[in-house]
Amino acid sequence: MHASSQQRAADHRPYFFLSYAHTPRYGPGGPDPDMWVERLFRDLCGHVMAMTDLPAGAPAGFMDREIRSGEGWSERLGEVLATCRVFVPLFSPRYFASEMCGKEWYAFAQRAIYHQAKSNRPAEAIVPALWVPVPPQQLPGPAERLQFNHRAFGDRYVTDGLYGLIKLRLFAEEYERAVYELAKRIVSVADTAGVGPSRPLDYRQAPSAFGTPRPSEPRSTGPRPIKVTIAAPTRHDVPNGRDPAYYGDMPQDWNPYHPESARPIAYIAQDLVRSLNYQATITSFDHDAAPLDAKQPPTQPELLLIDRWALEDEERCARLAAFDAEHRPWVSVVVPWNRDDHQSRAADAELTARLEATLPTKLSQGRAACRAAARGLPSMEAFGQILPQVVEAAAQQYLRHAQVYPPAGGSHTERPRLRGPMAAEYATTQFIPDMLDRAPDAEDPDDSQS
């Protein structure tokens, strides 16, 4: 539904956030290479002002050159990313190599995920623009999944990008057309997507949606696999007296943050890990046929999401206790619960005691973020904030315990390495800094790397 003129006039948030990779100067005293991006920004703002009824002084858009000297850089970026209506990334090879651009993308993507969780309607509020064309096979997962027809902006735009059009006078008409069409798309998406403002994310601690490769290792573009397992009852076998409104026909339908969230937690987790360039497989703990054999090397990192009410079932509780006794550090446990759920709040002491008796190892080992996640996350916001750290911990432990193979021939001293389809995907898993605990935990010998 399109916003009315009154609604637009009362909403003075920036229509778009222009996300771009800074180009270094070539040689001392050379011209500012980003002046062309600034020209694009000014042209877009002019079109947006003409296409809307924004009052004088209201920001049509934002780029980081708008930050005044002395203003907190990361705080200002976090504030605008939490309020802007549309995110406009300028695609280029340099863009997807930039950790800062990946952080901006991730910060905005979380708002769209929460919007869909609360409304159960997707919010496609990212409008990409080609600054320098990038081959499709070089796009990271979050960019590759965007459904966007660049051809509508002109054939020359597709082959040369905005940089090529803006630099060559011969293509001035094509440039004007492309910018005009881009501005129209920004206004249309801003009015229809309806992504509301959120609390600012700590930009300095945000992960990159593209990942950050280790030194001397190639950047992975395709999504990396991760397994998300749900341990929860269904509405047909909930404990006596438990409200079935939080459950569905399958464990995967469990929705602990009802009624704030209209989507099951499994699919919120799936969206969150997708924004970190992972592809999740969702399974049920009750029906997972994979044996609990910690002696076998892992094939992917895993998240185990547990409903504390699921521990009321003695058989399920015994299986979870057996899981806790196994050495499976590549499985991160997350226990979502809802502080607004009066039943869970009233039974909190009993549920917590049962959890501690069943999973003593997972509740006491690992990083601070992993221990906090295993002890319980009482809101959807807390769940979204901590999940990237939990995913990072599981990915690092996967790398440490996955099977390695010595090089063929036996005469080389080359370091053993991962092989097979998982090797490329996990070449770049170390990309999320710890927000809660930068140093490894001394009591956990299996989590010694930062």
Average pLDDT, the chain: 85
Chain-centre distance of CA 419, in angstroms? 27
- Taking Cα atoms as reference points, which of 403, 221, 212 lies closest to residue 300? 403
For residues 330 and 298, is the Cβ–Cβ distance under 8 A? Answer: yes
CA pair distance 388, 202, nearest whole angstrom: 13
pLDDT 10s digits, 23-63: 988 877 778 889 999 999 999 999 999 999 999 888 999 99
Determine the 3-state secondary structure of 230 from DSSP: strand
**How much is the pLDDT for 297?**
85
DSSP secondary structure string for all residues of 132-176 = S---GGGS-HHHHT----GGGG-HHHHHHHHHHHHH-GGGHHHHH
Cis peptide before 433 (omega within 30 of 0): no
Mean pLDDT by 10 residues, the chain (450 residues): 46 90 83 92 97 91 73 82 96 94 93 91 92 92 88 93 94 96 96 88 83 49 87 96 96 97 96 92 85 73 97 96 94 97 96 97 92 96 93 93 63 48 44 37 44
Whether the CB-CB separation of 390 and 370 falls below 8 Å is answered with yes
326-369 confidence digits (pLDDT tens): 999 999 999 999 999 999 999 999 999 999 999 999 999 889 99
Q: What is the value of pTM for the model shown?
A: 0.80
* Beta-carbon count within 10 A of 107 CB: 26
pLDDT on residue 223: 80
* pLDDT for position 33: 87
Residue 244 DSSP symbol: G
Reported residue count of the chain is: 450
Burial class, 349, CB count within 10 angstroms (exposed 0-12 / middle 13-18 / buried 19+): exposed
418-449 burial string, b = 16+ CB within 10 Å, else e?
beeebeebbbbbbbbebbebeebbeeeeebee
d(C-alpha 23, C-alpha 90), whole Å: 12
Helix, coil or strand: residue 86: strand
Contact between 228 and 282 (Cβ < 8 Å): yes
Q: Closest Cα to residue 337, out of 307, 310, 311, 358?
A: 307
pLDDT at site 32: 87
Who's near 282: CB < 8 A, 6+ residues apart?
A: 228, 229, 230, 252, 266, 267, 270
CB 146 within 8 A of CB 189: no
Tell me how many degrees the CA angle 373-390-343 measures, rounded to the nearest 5.
25
